[in-house]
Homo-oligomer: A and B are copies of this chain.
Amino acid sequence: MDKVLKALRAGRDEHVDRLKEWLRIPSVSADSAHRADVRRAGEFILAELRGAGFQTKLVDTPGHPVVVADWLGAKGAPTLLVYGHYDVQPPAPLELWRHGAFEPTVEGRNLIARGATDDKGQCLALVRGVAGMLAARRALPVNVKFLIEGEEEIGSPNLESFVRAHKDELAADVVLIADTAQLGPGKPALTVGLRGLLYMQIDLAGANRDLHSGSFGGAVANPANALCGMIAALKDGAGRVTIPGFYDSVRPLTQAERAQMAALPFDEREFQRGLGVEALPGEPGFTAFERKCARPTLDVNGLLAGWTGEGAKTVLPCKAMAKFSMRLVPDQDPETIRNATIAHLESLLPPGLKMKITCDHGAAPVLVPAEGPWTRAAVRAVAKGFGKEPVFMREGGSIPIVSTFRKVLGIDSILIGIGLPDDNAHAPNEKFDLDDFQRGIETAAHFLEEMATVSRAH
């Protein structure tokens, strides 16, 4: 490994330059105006893999294309499937960025840009680590496949059918994903649980036009008032979701799980200080850490109605919109919860209004085993790459594909966090620690080597 590590370290500046180049492509999958940019970002990582000696192809879907690549020269050795995504969240609100969202800028140890951590930075760490090892040795100790998609940030609507259609081609022993985070600086982590996701939009419509709130107020239903009432009725004052049946399938946290979480080096005071808030309210009976990782919740993601500019406009708006999402935990079923939510919203709709509900996103919650040979290989790889053994933790975010891989390919995923929890994923000034980037690159190479060891021990 010395030769490999030497080469990976010598390539540090080039790793960063390539990442910057990728980050300059505004691959916002949610915005149809960026359709061509999304494709360009896929072609970028495809060229990177092809240049490194992988067989590659770009496969079109009804949405954005999928990049697949493989190197299968390790006969008899196990096979790794690396998953990542090349699309990014929208950069809004633009005015809060210190630099252009797509003008990657180094500030101290950090690189600032949309996608820096989620997921271009973390994904490229795996790609550069594997590619660098192949370049240094002209061979890999295991077979490696890549599946890098462009629709993760919009719920991977076409990926499950893609995986089903390419089941044999994607066959592997285990999946490696770098799309979660460490527990904190110098606290590397393997994620063993992910929350599911259900993203919905409500559009309420009242009168056929905006009205003068003086001349009409009181006589006609106001969709903005009604929307607030409906959203408010989705949670109680304490923070529990009030959709009937919402908690029915929630697997209670065991004493062992709670003890494990409590033992993690997570400082609630520091967490609170970092957010600049005076309290961390939420579902009673659970710590903030449990609530953000292992309990289901419901958050409004967007609200829009009427006059939102400067000053006073006495308009009674004719429509109002809310986007909200639920994070689900085992064993909540997105489909069941979706139906319960729609039924609840329909029961809440006041007279005189019309409602349209759109479901954008769905992902099942998932738990992956915190044991087994691949997990132990990952622990050893992280210990070598980061100089410290990883903790096991649950993460509050969702990676829809993890449950798909288990369901369709029958394999588990190793979720390795290279970024940090305060990296501002989905927010302005998204960042990525370039030292962690280098550690991630080296960890990827170590993981291939450790996988091969497992194989020999079988």
Q: Which residues of chain A from 358 to 378 have any CB-CB distance to chain B below 8 Å in the complex? A: 360-361
Closest B residue to A234 using CB positions: B225
* Cβ-based interface call for A39 (8 A): no
Interface CB pairs A-B, < 8 A, 25: A30-B311, A92-B307, A93-B210, A154-B312, A209-B275, A210-B426, A215-B395, A217-B299, A218-B396, A220-B277, A220-B292, A224-B301, A225-B231, A225-B300, A228-B229, A228-B231, A232-B232, A279-B351, A279-B352, A281-B352, A301-B306, A301-B312, A302-B305, A308-B323, A312-B325
A402 to B435, CA, bound (A): 69
Measuring CB to CB, which residues of chain A are less than 8 angstroms from any residue of chain B?
Answer: 29-32, 89-90, 92-93, 96, 118, 153-155, 181, 195, 197, 199, 201, 206-222, 224-225, 227-229, 231-233, 235, 237, 239, 271, 275-283, 288-289, 291-292, 295-317, 320-323, 325, 327, 350-353, 360-361, 395-398, 421, 424-429
The contact of A313 among B214, B301, B314, by CB within 8 Å, is B301
A224 x B277 contact (CB < 8 A): no
B217 x A297 contact (CB < 8 A): yes
A396 x B280 contact (CB < 8 A): no
Given contacts A210-B426, A233-B232, contact A303 B308 (CB under 8 A): yes
A288 to B195, CA, bound (A): 47
B221 x A314 contact (CB < 8 A): no
Given contacts A214-B195, A214-B396, A215-B425, contact A279 B221 (CB under 8 A): yes
Copies of this chain: 2
B228 x A314 contact (CB < 8 A): no
A361 to B213, CA, bound (A): 14
B277 x A207 contact (CB < 8 A): yes
The contact of A302 among B224, B283, B353, by CB within 8 Å, is B224
The contact of A426 among B195, B212, B302, B396, by CB within 8 Å, is B212
A303 x B301 contact (CB < 8 A): no
A397 x B199 contact (CB < 8 A): no
Residues of B within 8 A of A208 (CB): 275-277
Residues of B within 8 A of A279 (CB): 221, 351-352
Residues of B within 8 A of A289 (CB): 219
Residues of B within 8 A of A321 (CB): 308
Residues of B within 8 A of A310 (CB): 30-32
Closest B residue to A196 using CB positions: B214
A314 x B292 contact (CB < 8 A): no
B282 x A218 contact (CB < 8 A): yes
A300 x B317 contact (CB < 8 A): yes
A308 to B300, CA, bound (A): 11
A213, A220, A350, A425: most-surrounded residue (chain B CB, <10 A): A213
Given contacts A309-B92, A426-B315, contact A215 B181 (CB under 8 A): yes
Q: How far is the CB of A38 from chain B (nearest CB, A)?
A: 12
B197 x A214 contact (CB < 8 A): yes
Supplied contacts A31-B309, A217-B325, A301-B317, 15 more A-B pairs, CB within 8 Å: A207-B275, A209-B424, A210-B424, A210-B428, A214-B397, A217-B327, A219-B271, A221-B282, A224-B303, A237-B350, A280-B352, A300-B305, A302-B308, A303-B304, A314-B325
